[in-house]
Structure 1
Amino acid sequence: MKKTKVHVVPHSHWDREWYFTTSRSKIYLMKDFQDILDILEEKEDFKYFTMDAQASLLDDYLKWRPQDEYRIRDLVQRRRLVIGPWYTQTDQLVISGESIIRNLYYGIDRCNEFGEPMRVGYVPDSFGQSAQMPQIYRGFGIDSSLFWRGVSDDMVDTTEFIWKGSDGSKVLAVQIPFGYYYGGNIPEDDSDLKEYLKDIIGKLKVKASTNNVYFPNGFDQAPIRKNLPDILKKANEIDNENEYEISNIENYIDSVKNERNEFTELKGEFLNAKHMRIHKSIFSSRSDLKIMNNKLENYITNVLEPLLTLSYSLGNEYPHLVIKDIWKLMFENAAHDSIGSCNSDTANEDVYTRYKQARDLSINLLDLHMRLISTQIKNNNEEITLTVFNGFPEVRNEVVEFDTYIPGQDFVIKNKNGEILNYIIKEKEDITNYILTQTIRLNPSKKIYIPKTVYRAKIALSVKDIPPMGYTQLVFELDTKNKCEIETSNCKEIENKYYKITANKNGSLEILDKESSKTYKNQAVIEDNGDDGDSYNYSPPRKDIYVSSLDSVSSVEVLKSNIQEEMILKYSLTIPASLEERSIGKVSVKMPVTMKITLEPKEQIIKFNVNIKNNQALSHRVRVLFNTEIASKFSIADQQFGIIQRPTVLEKDLALWKRDNYSWQEKPITIEPMQSFVTLEDGQRGIALITGCVREYQIVGDNLDTIALTLFRSFGYMGRENLLYRPGRASGEKIIATPDAQLLKELNFDFGLYIYNNKFDEANVANTAKRFLTPIQIYEYADFLNGRLLFAFNDEKQIYENEFSLMNVNNSNFTVSAIKKEEKGDGIVVRIFNGMKNEDAKGSLNINKNVNDAYSAMLDEIYDNNSKLKVNTKTVEVNSLSHCKVQTIVIK
């Protein structure tokens, strides 16, 4: 009988932070990585070692031991040290598609400096697998994946299968059946070794579809097992049925492919928690950090990179290395423990610091480039200008709120045609003495305008016809009175072209959709309940109290102007102070909540802001509920590069759970992730919730017609035992308290509601959400501001026109994911995807510069002459995209 080949793969799953800090991880990496290099060089029979597929570990190690770069390069080129393809071990569910793509791109790019990276999508510990990963892998020339979590024997009975993604892309998938650590503790005593191998290899062979078994030798932060060759020699002597050899992941997968070419096929995302924990509510753990991630991802890809590309097209340098550093900070936080926030408080302080660094770099980088453009626009030396930037490839007409500096005298704001634009001053503070002492007059001979009084102000400005992927400059006309003012109204309703919203006596909202004449009642209800879980899982308390904002409203304020109507509701919810109070039915803590609802004259998205001034309760969850009155078997949410339909009840899994819940690691629940929106629709109408905060939702209600958006949940420990939703041992470390995760501070949440009265595809929800999450930017310039406050600038030669558009989409229903400069060329990259439910995505890109060539590229931006797209002077014709397809276009 032919022996089964046991591919023993030495590795270390290296968490860069967890219950320990990044600093501790880096220090110990110095010792462990050096040991790996020494052993591989000393022992030729120790053939391979897999470095957890994270190129960031190379950077961490070489920062303090640069003399070992040659040693690493030599071992990589001899295929002894296996590296890549990732930069960090990323999450796949709440991290954006662009973040995942850049993680792979920069990971492979860094590995290429040493040798050939591993071409396997290796993710041993991510908490579930996104349905779009097969397409993303294929976009980098990767045709196989190896992971642990998300698949059970109720889905497939072999460890190897074909994984089909949402768009139809396929990869060979290998599911590690017992985790990445089951071969990490090999006994050395002969009798112990024989018994151990008989048990574990027997279990693996039952699941294997070929005569090959994957046997990972390693675990979290594991040192190299120096005597592994000797142990395997002994194993081959005492086991006549199997052949043991030190191998690597690619060798194992090649052996499987050589032996078999037909496998069972599974489709979609993998979130099954029967055999391993998925932590399917980790999407809202430490919502303060999650919101920082989500806002930053949106800012980098929707605002920063497009406007840097605009600046580049005008002749300024594209700052590749700064962008790379920003993304690397994001990648460090995208690692599954870090983005999951299932860390110690100390480690999460490092996560916060990296977000802060990424945010500060991004904001200041964009500030510089907006200034480079704004100060070089031909404007007859106007005293004060506002340059309006639009990173979205469609014309914008909307109200923009921004912080700025204004003179004490009257003024109006005019566009290039001399039209007066409406604005209101929402807040202002006199800072004259501070501002005017900051001014630096580099050329004292130049006469400049210096106002007598300067205010720092928050302004809402109604802008119109803002060019797509472009800018326009506005000017202040001084000593002319603004006629637009805010008025306080005694009525309890606001309205615009699309909606009339009324505050009910019980504190809920009544929303009249004018287009359909349908009234939606009892909307935007705040709900509080207990959270008996930990940093990994929400779990309901065994005894709980639900408290809602109904009948808790204390005041309603309505502010109206001709560009904006706002309703401000203040609630005072009395809730339990702790889980102990919940268990005895006691409520003792006031939770003040302020909800602001904003309508703009021609905006179909209702804007919401929820502020919790000072959370003082422990271990609880707060959600906001919208009853769509659409009973639904499925929800539609966006995932990376497309949409995904999920059942509102997990009937099959729940039946299996109820029949044998002791064999399940977690209860099947419908708390789900999203990227930017979730919607319920019936083919005639729909309601979409667009999140600018936490990316977690659940469909609830007796009729499964209510969208519950999680705002936050709080907990006191990294891990806890015996939860209702997760029985058994604690995840992580149960002794580590996480008081910071109780979120005893001010909390702020932004989201939008979009009601449509047609089919999902006709409403183009994906594009609507993209616009909502692509805020217009405004840069103010005046000579009196040129100084220490902003950093002094020399006068620039004015060479740019008052208005410019780089590109726009034409007759298109695709969604733009990224606009950036090509990484290794001088072209412009535009990445688009099909966010439709049923229709193909079509259209064209109009470029306001001559186009020489355009190519359809891989996700790694590789293309050749066979991938040319049709170009008509300044128009690039886009290939039709089927469901959930993504396309990368390089324009030369």
Structure 2
Amino acid sequence: MSREIRILMHTHWDREWYFTKDETKVLLRNHMQEVMAFLEENPNTIYILDGQSVMIDDYLELEPEGKPRLKKLIEKGSLRVGPWYTQTDLLLVHGESIFRNLYYGIKRAEEFGEPMLVGYAPDTFGHASQMPQIYKQFGIDSTFFWRGFSELKAQKSDFLWKGIDGSEVVGVNLATGYQGAKYLELEPDELRKRMNKIMPVLDNYSASSARLIMNGHDQMPIQKNIYQVMENMKQIYPEDQVMLSDFESYVDALNKDKLEVVTGELIDSKHARIHRTIGSTRMDIKLLNTEIENNLYNVLEPLAMIGEEAGIAYPHGVIEKVSKILFGTHAHDSIGGCNSDKVNQDIKQRLLNAKEMVDTQIELHLRLMALGNKESSETIVLVNPLPEKRVDQLVNLEMLTRTRGFRIFDEDNQELEYSIITQEQEDAGLIDRQVAARLQDIRVYRTKIVLPISEIEGLSARYLTYEEVDETKQITASTTEKCISNEFGKLFVDSNILCYKSKKTQDVYTNILSIENSGDAGDSYDYSPPYNDWILNSENCGEMTVNVVEEEHYKKMTIDWLMRVPENQLQREKKKAERDVNFNVTLSLYPGDPKVYVTLNHENKTKDNRYRAVFKTNVTTDQVKVDSYMSNQLKPVYNEKALNIWKEDEWAEKPVSIETTQSFITLKDKDSAFTVYTNGLKEYEVLNDAIHLTLFRTFSHLGQRDLINRPGRPSGIEIKTPDNQLLDEPFIFEFTFEIAHTHEEESHVAKDYLTPLVAYQLKEFNRFNINSRSTVEKTKSHLSLNLNGLVVSSSRLTNKKERFIRLFNPHYKDITVALPETAFTATAMEERLEEIKTITLAPQEIGNIIILH
């Protein structure tokens, strides 16, 4: 059979790893100069710029005069860019980040020519089961990747990948890697030896006569002698065609009707390492990233949409800037945390900068909206960021007043009750420098409260008022009881163990939440147990100091949970636990809510350790329900098929049963269910009837060799990374758990949990002064959709100032939703399609709509 040997010229461009993004920017300028010169001299050449448009921006930042030359080559098709903005991780970041990464990547590429609409993700550590649908929504019909494939999925490396909703794209596993034909030898004998290694692999796995030869590597310069190499290759394979090619031509050579169908995630680690436990590396960075994503997608964007109605210009520039900072940290190495200390420091600083921008824009928007209430300067603005009406909600609000006491009133001047969480007195001069400049001595009270809200329409604002009063409202004194309860259950401490009793079933969950400490002999890519591990649990190595507060609108139990653990691996090997560590745990119950809310504060004091929160669920099952990108799925608790063969088949790493979720984990049997909702903690393992949620891990090196779960060479390089021990790093972990009392789908509950109502008091003292705007008025409009079980992923304004909403259906039946007048289906690029009165989404389907004002 005559083969088509298709050589694809490319470079794989990690912006940062054990080198910094600033180093690679300088290198990229040199690289682009060489590539463009070669393409101009050889006009029939095709070169792939790693599928990420950020390389355009990085190059032009240092050589802006190169834009016309670059544009000409992209327009001609010699240089292929997009569809990604950056080469993102495809399991750990927010689903909206995946959509926006493609949106901005394609948008930027379109400014120069035709984008490369291929889902190129060469080095990503696994692929979510929703990716086929996401690709299809952007007009992408194929994906090329290296990691995540095994023969448990298909016999051939060319296949049809069916997503969780049924969408199909062509999947091509790069059987010899994206680097398989790097630096091809010119000398004929050496070239023959090299090709004799490559071609048998491709002959075995390719589903057609086409053979994809990936001529590129990490930061590899363009191979200028490629045409001479091709001539020698033609002598080696006289019966075959040898040509330069692109991804699209390779797909066209496949007979799609004869391809195997693959379903589910692509996370098998037979041929390449997947690093299934990278989800707990550098949790300080990952938690910071999640906080920014939640504030950007769940708060700022819908808030800004409401603000536009009030006369506040939508901050497109701020949102794009923050998004691109985020995407710069979402590359698989970057968000994975498998970098040098210097690079991780830079990533964290960029995220802190993005957080400042998001937080400041949110506060500014709320402040301007509050100024829209011309009737009173004592204003509280209350915002619902979801496009559905919400009832019987509790909102957290921070008040700053001159008096200890204050009263809050609704729009009809009816007083609203509230409960105080904390109250502290402080110097107003530390808040507002004008106070200090005038040598004024003003003391104010900062009070955090819980405020019940009976109802609020979707994507709307309410305007409350307040007055300062001399009367005081005290927090209820702590009781001597070690329990709190609401109508759903009772949380209590018994013999130094946290327990819960369901009022509905009378079942008692003994040791319902505990902290586990174990050793970690791994590196920045993988957790690995030490050869001599010693696992400890707070149940038998901890002491509790318990305090309880019972207010009308919340019940709170605070536990200082002292554990004695090994300080390092040497102590662990000697079975010595000589280091006291403290977890300050706050557990809260609210009326009308079956969930137990947990905030866990901890400052790390140990090395080479892993900490996990353990939930004793009383549910034993072989399946776990979790969410992925705008979908949910059932996964096996134990990865049996792969674990039965991995040693015999010499997999690159052990396919451990530690998995990734986005925001919830559910165990169910015929009688009961238990769900954990997480805010940034995404790595879990189910052992027997217990959910183990990784809090964080600490270790010493970027890469190590011969780990228990990963035999052989080190991943990355063996350099010391002492920052990865996270010594003295403060953590705040947030999650909630629920013993099933409702029939609400978990995705909706998770969205509600991660998108609370937002409230803001117009304060007398502020860090910055702003002028009042006559153009800002109270917003009176709203958008309350009856979603019937659909879940909102995003609400924002397009560049054309149209309201864009992304929905998904997490159920296993079709759901139809009625829409207001002047509603349209929309593309993922936020362009209108056909006008509609209703939208119907199939199970796990994502829908985009535009609703005009």
Superposed displacement of residue 833, structure 1: 0.3
1:868 has 2:835 as partner: yes
What SS class does the counterpart of residue 438 from structure 1 fall into? helix
1:531 has 2:520 as partner: yes
Count residues in correspondence.
848
Whole-Å Cα distance in 2 between the matches of residues 146 and 243 of structure 1? 22
- Quickly say closer, same or farther: Cα 1:153–1:462, change in 2 above 3 A: same
Whole-Å Cα distance in 1 between the matches of residues 847 and 65 of structure 2? 41
What SS class does the counterpart of residue 233 from structure 1 fall into? helix
- Quickly say closer, same or farther: Cα 1:798–1:860, change in 2 above 3 A: closer
* Equivalent residue number for residue 302 of structure 1: 298
* Equivalent residue number for residue 446 of structure 1: none
CA-based RMSD of the aligned residues comes to 2.1
What SS class does the counterpart of residue 122 from structure 1 fall into? strand
Instruction: Give 1:689's match in structure 2, choosing from 654, 676, 683.
Output: 676
Superposed displacement of residue 575, structure 1: 1.0
Q: Which amino acid aligns with 1:533?
A: G
What SS class does the counterpart of residue 434 from structure 2 fall into? coil
Instruction: Give 1:397's match in structure 2, choosing from 388, 392, 396.
Output: 392
Q: Which amino acid aligns with 1:884?
A: Q
Give deviations 1:47-95, integer Å, cap 9, x for gaps: 1110001100000000111111111111111111111111000111111
CA contact (8 A) 1:813 1:842 kept: no
Q: Which amino acid aligns with 1:141?
A: G
- Quickly say closer, same or farther: Cα 1:406–1:42, change in 2 above 3 A: same
Whole-Å Cα distance in 1 between the matches of residues 720 and 271 of structure 2? 25
Superposed displacement of residue 19, structure 1: 0.6
* Equivalent residue number for residue 536 of structure 2: 547
Whole-Å Cα distance in 1 between the matches of residues 405 and 151 of structure 2? 72
Deviates more, 1:705-714 or 1:429-438: 429-438
Superposed displacement of residue 635, structure 1: 0.3
CA contact (8 A) 2:555 2:589 kept: yes
Matches within 5 A, 1:842-857: 842-845=816-819, 851=821, 853-857=822-826
Give deviations 1:256-285, integer Å, cap 9, x for gaps: 25xx53210011111111111000011111
- Quickly say closer, same or farther: Cα 1:466–1:604, change in 2 above 3 A: farther
Give deviations 1:227-263, integer Å, cap 9, x for gaps: 1111111111232243221212122222225xx5321
Whole-Å Cα distance in 1 between the matches of residues 477 and 553 of structure 2? 12
CA contact (8 A) 1:390 1:776 kept: yes
Superposed displacement of residue 409, structure 1: 4.7
Deviates more, 1:594-603 or 1:168-177: 594-603
Whole-Å Cα distance in 1 between the matches of residues 274 and 689 of structure 2? 26
CA contact (8 A) 1:119 1:142 kept: yes
Instruction: Give 1:509's match in structure 2, choosing from 493, 498, 511.
Output: 498
CA contact (8 A) 1:378 1:798 kept: no
Instruction: Give 2:789's match in structure 1, choosing from 813, 836, 839.
Output: 813
- Quickly say closer, same or farther: Cα 1:433–1:321, change in 2 above 3 A: closer
Q: Which amino acid aligns with 2:702?
A: M
What SS class does the counterpart of residue 547 from structure 2 fall into? strand
Whole-Å Cα distance in 1 between the matches of residues 819 and 784 of structure 2? 6
CA contact (8 A) 1:120 1:142 kept: yes
Superposed displacement of residue 723, structure 1: 0.7
* Equivalent residue number for residue 519 of structure 1: 508
**What 5-or-longer segments of structure 2 have no aligned partner?**
none
Superposed displacement of residue 633, structure 1: 0.8
1:206 has 2:204 as partner: yes
Deviates more, 1:400-409 or 1:197-206: 400-409
* Equivalent residue number for residue 890 of structure 1: 850
Instruction: Give 1:640's match in structure 2, choosing from 613, 629, 639.
Output: 629
- Quickly say closer, same or farther: Cα 1:509–1:71, change in 2 above 3 A: same
Whole-Å Cα distance in 2 between the matches of residues 692 and 503 of structure 1? 25
Matches within 5 A, 1:652-731: 652-658=641-647, 660=648, 663-700=650-687, 704-731=688-715
What SS class does the counterpart of residue 191 from structure 1 fall into? helix
Whole-Å Cα distance in 1 between the matches of residues 151 and 665 of structure 2? 30
Superposed displacement of residue 665, structure 1: 0.9
Deviates more, 1:185-194 or 1:272-281: 185-194
Superposed displacement of residue 42, structure 1: 1.6
Deviates more, 1:588-597 or 1:388-397: 388-397
Q: Which amino acid aligns with 2:498?
A: L
Give deviations 1:360-414, integer Å, cap 9, x for gaps: 11111122221221101243x34x2221222123314333334441222532222
Instruction: Give 1:271's match in structure 2, choosing from 262, 267, 279.
Output: 267
Whole-Å Cα distance in 1 between the matches of residues 232 and 2 of structure 2? 16
Q: Which amino acid aligns with 2:135?
A: Y
* Equivalent residue number for residue 177 of structure 1: 175
Whole-Å Cα distance in 2 between the matches of residues 435 and 68 of structure 1? 47
CA contact (8 A) 2:423 2:445 kept: no
CA contact (8 A) 1:649 1:670 kept: yes
* Equivalent residue number for residue 26 of structure 2: 27
Q: Which amino acid aligns with 1:699?
A: V
Q: Which amino acid aligns with 2:308?
A: Y
What SS class does the counterpart of residue 430 from structure 1 fall into? strand
* Equivalent residue number for residue 447 of structure 1: none
Matches within 5 A, 1:819-834: 819-823=795-799, 825-834=800-809
CA contact (8 A) 2:401 2:468 kept: no
Superposed displacement of residue 189, structure 1: 1.7
* Equivalent residue number for residue 353 of structure 1: 349
Whole-Å Cα distance in 2 between the matches of residues 476 and 548 of structure 1? 48
Whole-Å Cα distance in 2 between the matches of residues 434 and 75 of structure 1? 56
Matches within 5 A, 1:89-168: 89-168=87-166
Superposed displacement of residue 890, structure 1: 0.7
Whole-Å Cα distance in 2 between the matches of residues 575 and 114 of structure 1? 57
TM-score (norm. length: structure 2): 0.96
CA contact (8 A) 1:19 1:343 kept: yes
Superposed displacement of residue 435, structure 1: 5.0
* Equivalent residue number for residue 385 of structure 1: 379
CA contact (8 A) 2:613 2:692 kept: yes
Percent identity (aligned): 33
What SS class does the counterpart of residue 763 from structure 1 fall into? coil
Whole-Å Cα distance in 2 between the matches of residues 666 and 182 of structure 1? 20
Whole-Å Cα distance in 1 between the matches of residues 842 and 727 of structure 2? 43
Whole-Å Cα distance in 2 between the matches of residues 793 and 434 of structure 1? 18
Whole-Å Cα distance in 1 between the matches of residues 249 and 783 of structure 2? 46
1:791 has 2:775 as partner: no
What SS class does the counterpart of residue 17 from structure 2 fall into? coil
* Equivalent residue number for residue 408 of structure 1: 403
- Quickly say closer, same or farther: Cα 1:432–1:353, change in 2 above 3 A: closer
Superposed displacement of residue 486, structure 1: 2.4
**What 5-or-longer segments of structure 1 have no aligned partner?**
443-449, 871-876
- Quickly say closer, same or farther: Cα 1:273–1:435, change in 2 above 3 A: closer
Instruction: Give 2:762's match in structure 1, choosing from 770, 781, 803.
Output: 781
Whole-Å Cα distance in 1 between the matches of residues 566 and 523 of structure 2? 18
What SS class does the counterpart of residue 309 from structure 1 fall into? helix
CA contact (8 A) 2:607 2:699 kept: yes
Matches within 5 A, 1:531-610: 531-551=520-540, 552-610=542-600
TM-score (norm. length: structure 1): 0.92
Q: Which amino acid aligns with 2:810?
A: G
What SS class does the counterpart of residue 883 from structure 1 fall into? coil
1:756 has 2:740 as partner: yes
* Equivalent residue number for residue 6 of structure 1: 5
* Equivalent residue number for residue 874 of structure 1: none
Give deviations 1:307-352, integer Å, cap 9, x for gaps: 1111113332212121111110110111110111111111011111
Instruction: Give 1:768's match in structure 2, choosing from 736, 743, 749.
Output: 749
Whole-Å Cα distance in 1 between the matches of residues 118 and 431 of structure 2? 56
Whole-Å Cα distance in 2 between the matches of residues 340 and 256 of structure 1? 34
Superposed displacement of residue 439, structure 1: 5.6
Superposed displacement of residue 693, structure 1: 2.9
What SS class does the counterpart of residue 615 from structure 2 fall into? strand
CA contact (8 A) 2:175 2:201 kept: no
Superposed displacement of residue 44, structure 1: 3.1
Superposed displacement of residue 298, structure 1: 1.3
What SS class does the counterpart of residue 596 from structure 1 fall into? strand
Q: Which amino acid aligns with 2:807?
A: I
